[in-house]
Amino acid sequence: MQLLNLIFIVDDDPIHQQIANLMIKRQGIGEKVKAFSEAQDALNYLREYIYEPDLLPDLILLDLNMPVMDGWDFLNDYAGFYEKLPKKIGIFVLTSSIDDSDRKKVDDYAFVKGYLTKPLSSEIINKLQEE
Amino acid sequence: MNDAIINKALASFVPALLLDLNGNLLSANDRARGLVQLPGGNAGKVHYDHLFGERTGIYWGGLLATLQNGLKACIEIAGPGGQWTAWQLLAHDEYFVLLGQETAQPDKLFTHLPLGIQQFSVEGFPVKSNALQKDIWGPHHPIFIQPGYNILRDPVYRQIGLSQLFDDVLVTGRSVKKEILLRYQEFAVGDSVRLSPCYYEATVFPAFNQQRQITDLYLLLKECTAQKLTLMGLEKSARLLDSVVEHLPIGYVQFDHHGFMRRINHTHREFLKIRPGCHEEGYNIMSDPFARMYGFNEMFMTVVTENRMIRKEIEVDFSAENTYTDFSEVRWMDYTLFPLQDPIDKKTIVVALINDITDKKLEHYMRNELQRNTEQLHLFFDAVDMGYATLERDGRVNFMNRKAAQMAGVEIQPGCNIFEVIPAFRTPSPFLDRLARALKSTVSASFSSYFYGMDKWYDFLVTPMRDNTVSVFIRDITGSRKLQKELHRANSQLSKLNRNLLNQNQQLEDFAHITSHNLRAPIANLKALMQLHNHSEKEKEREEYLGMLESVINKTDETLNDLVNVVQIRKETDIRQELLSFETRLQYVSNVLMQDINQSGLQITIDLEESPLVRFPRIYLDSILQNLITNAIRYRMPEKVPTLHFSSRKENGMITLTAEDNGMGIDMNRFGSKLFGFRKTFHKNPDAKGIGLFITKTQVEAMGGSISAESAPGRGTKFIITFKTE
pLDDT digits (tens, 9 = 90+) for B80-111: 666 778 888 888 778 888 888 776 555 666 77
Beta-bridge partner residues of A61: A9, A92
Contact B695, B683 (CB under 8 A): no
Contact between A98 and B690 using a beta-carbon 8 Å cutoff: no
Q: In what order do the strands lie in the sheet with B176-189?
A: B126-129, B116-121, B214-223, B192-208, B176-189
Termini Cα distance of chain B: 157
pLDDT at site B194: 86
> Using the 8-state DSSP alphabet, how is residue B39 labeled?
P
pLDDT at site B610: 92
CA pair distance A131, A10, nearest whole angstrom: 19
**Left, alpha or beta for B205 (phi > 0: left; psi -120 to 50: alpha)?**
beta
Does the pLDDT value for residue B2 go beyond 60?
Answer: no
CA pair distance B569, B701, nearest whole angstrom: 10
Q: Which of A97, A102, A119 sits opposite B528 (nearest CB)?
A: A119
Residue type, B345: D
Does the pLDDT value for residue B602 go beyond 90?
Answer: yes
Q: Which of B516, B524, B684 sits opposite A68 (nearest CB)?
A: B684
B293/A contact by beta carbon, under 8 A: no
Coarse DSSP helix, strand, coil percentages of chain B, rounded to the nearest 5 percent: 45, 30, 30
Contact between B528 and A68 using a beta-carbon 8 Å cutoff: no
Residues B525-538 have a mean pLDDT of 86
CA pair distance B388, A129, nearest whole angstrom: 93
A19/B contact by beta carbon, under 8 A: yes
pLDDT band at B532 (very low <50, low <70, confident <90, very high): confident
Residue type, B475: R
SS3 B41: coil
Nearest to B38 by CA among B100, B95, B92, B94: B100
pLDDT tens-digit map of B464-520: 888 888 989 888 888 888 888 888 888 888 888 888 788 778 777 777 777 767 778
B548/A contact by beta carbon, under 8 A: yes
Give every CB contact of residue B378 below 8 A, 6+ residues apart in sequence.
Answer: B399, B401
pLDDT tens-digit map of B505-528: 877 777 777 776 777 888 888 888
Contacts of A13 in chain B (CB under 8 A): 521, 525
In a mutational test of the A interface, the residue from B508, B514, B519, B525 whose CB has the highest number of chain A CBs within 10 Å is: B525
Contacts of B690 in chain A (CB under 8 A): 67
B520/A contact by beta carbon, under 8 A: yes
Contact between A67 and B521 using a beta-carbon 8 Å cutoff: no
pLDDT at site B613: 93
Residues in A 29-88 with any Cβ partner in B closer than 8 A: 38, 64-65, 67-68, 73
Element of type H or E holding B302: helix B296-306
Residues B430-443 have a mean pLDDT of 87
B525/A contact by beta carbon, under 8 A: yes
Contacts of B516 in chain A (CB under 8 A): 96-99, 102
pLDDT tens-digit map of B299-352: 999 999 999 999 999 999 988 888 888 888 899 999 999 998 887 788 888 999
pLDDT at site A42: 93
Contact between A121 and B552 using a beta-carbon 8 Å cutoff: no
Contact B487, B481 (CB under 8 A): no
In a mutational test of the A interface, the residue from B520, B538, B548, B553 whose CB has the highest number of chain A CBs within 10 Å is: B520
pLDDT band at B1 (very low <50, low <70, confident <90, very high): very low
pLDDT band at B13 (very low <50, low <70, confident <90, very high): low
In a mutational test of the B interface, the residue from A19, A95, A115, A116 whose CB has the highest number of chain B CBs within 10 Å is: A19
Q: DSSP string covering B487-511, please?
A: HHHHHHHHHHHHHHHHHHHHHHHHH
B689/A contact by beta carbon, under 8 A: no
pLDDT tens-digit map of B157-214: 889 888 999 999 989 888 898 988 888 888 888 888 888 888 888 999 888 887 788 8
B524/A contact by beta carbon, under 8 A: yes
**CA–CA distances in Å: residue A115 to residues A100, A111, B122, B330, B511:** 11, 12, 180, 109, 22
Nearest Cα of chain B lies from the Cα of A54 at a distance, in angstroms, of: 30
Residue ranges for chain A with pLDDT beneath 70: 1-2, 130-131
Q: Which of A26, A67, A119 sits opposite B524 (nearest CB)?
A: A119
CA pair distance B364, B563, nearest whole angstrom: 95
Contacts of B681 in chain A (CB under 8 A): 67-68
Number of helices (H) and strands (E) in chain B: give both, helices first: 26, 27
CA pair distance B715, B643, nearest whole angstrom: 12
pLDDT tens-digit map of B115-132: 888 888 888 888 888 888
Find, in chain A, the residue whose alpha carbon is nearest to that of B541.
A22
CA pair distance B518, B427, nearest whole angstrom: 71
Element of type H or E holding B85: strand B84-92
**CA–CA distances in Å: residue B196 to residues B140, B158, B184, B186, B189:** 19, 21, 5, 6, 12
**Left, alpha or beta for B406 (phi > 0: left; psi -120 to 50: alpha)?**
alpha
Q: In b/e form, how buried is each residue of B53-77, taking b as 16+ CB within 10 angstroms?
A: bebbebebeebbebbeeeeebebbb
CB pairs under 8 A between A and B: 74
Nearest Cα of chain B lies from the Cα of A85 at a distance, in angstroms, of: 26
Contacts of A18 in chain B (CB under 8 A): 548
Torsion angle, alpha carbons of B671, B677, B683, B686, to 10: -170
A100/B contact by beta carbon, under 8 A: no
Nearest to B458 by CA among B357, B534, B551, B387: B387
Contact between B532 and A22 using a beta-carbon 8 Å cutoff: yes
Sign of the torsion formed by the C-alpha atoms of B147, B153, B155 and B157: positive
CA pair distance B432, B418, nearest whole angstrom: 11
CA pair distance B520, B522, nearest whole angstrom: 6
Contacts of B556 in chain A (CB under 8 A): none
Q: In what order do the strands lie in the sheet with A90-95?
A: A30-36, A4-10, A59-62, A90-95, A112-117
Nearest to B678 by CA among B559, B520, B501, B502: B559
In a mutational test of the A interface, the residue from B508, B530, B531 whose CB has the highest number of chain A CBs within 10 Å is: B531
Contact A60, A42 (CB under 8 A): yes
A116/B contact by beta carbon, under 8 A: no
Contact between B682 and A67 using a beta-carbon 8 Å cutoff: yes
Contact B10, B29 (CB under 8 A): yes
Q: Which of B512, B521, B681 sits opposite A67 (nearest CB)?
A: B681
| ipTM score assigned to the predicted complex | 0.85
Find, in chain A, the residue whose alpha carbon is nearest to that of B668.
A68
Torsion angle, alpha carbons of B147, B151, B153, B159, to 10: 130
Q: Which of B524, B681, B688 sits opposite A118 (nearest CB)?
A: B524
Element of type H or E holding B647: strand B643-651
Q: Which of A38, A67, A73 sits opposite B690 (nearest CB)?
A: A67
Contact between B517 and A67 using a beta-carbon 8 Å cutoff: no
CA pair distance A81, B303, nearest whole angstrom: 136
CA pair distance B187, B133, nearest whole angstrom: 21
Contact between B525 and A22 using a beta-carbon 8 Å cutoff: no
| A11 C-beta neighbours (distance < 10 Å), count | 29
Nearest to B445 by CA among B463, B466, B471: B463
Contacts of A118 in chain B (CB under 8 A): 520-521, 524-525, 528
Find, in chain A, the residue whose alpha carbon is nearest to that of B551.
A15
Give every CB contact of residue B680 below 8 A, 6+ residues apart in sequence.
Answer: A67, B671, B674, B690, B694
Contact A4, A131 (CB under 8 A): no
Does the pLDDT value for residue B142 go beyond 70?
Answer: yes
- Mean pLDDT value across chain B: 85
Nearest to B184 by CA among B128, B152, B229, B143: B229
Nearest Cα of chain A lies from the Cα of B587 at a distance, in angstroms, of: 33
Q: Which of B548, B670, B680 sits opposite A15 (nearest CB)?
A: B548
Range of weakest confidence among A85-94, A100-109, B7-16, B686-695 = B7-16
**CA–CA distances in Å: residue B162 to residues B85, B150, B152, B159:** 31, 12, 9, 8
Nearest to B12 by CA among B27, B26, B29, B24: B29
In a mutational test of the A interface, the residue from B509, B526, B529, B666 whose CB has the highest number of chain A CBs within 10 Å is: B529
CA pair distance B660, B153, nearest whole angstrom: 162
Sign of the torsion formed by the C-alpha atoms of A112, A115, A121 and A124: negative
pLDDT at site A46: 92
The model carries a pTM of 0.43
pLDDT at site B52: 84
Beta strands (DSSP E) in B164-296 are 176-189, 192-208, 214-223, 251-255, 261-264
Q: What angle do CA B694, B698, B699 make, to 5 degrees?
A: 120
Termini Cα distance of chain A: 9
Contact between A119 and B516 using a beta-carbon 8 Å cutoff: no
Cis peptide bond upstream of A119, omega within 30: yes
Q: DSSP string covering A111-129, please?
A: TEEEEEESSP-HHHHHHHH
B14/A contact by beta carbon, under 8 A: no
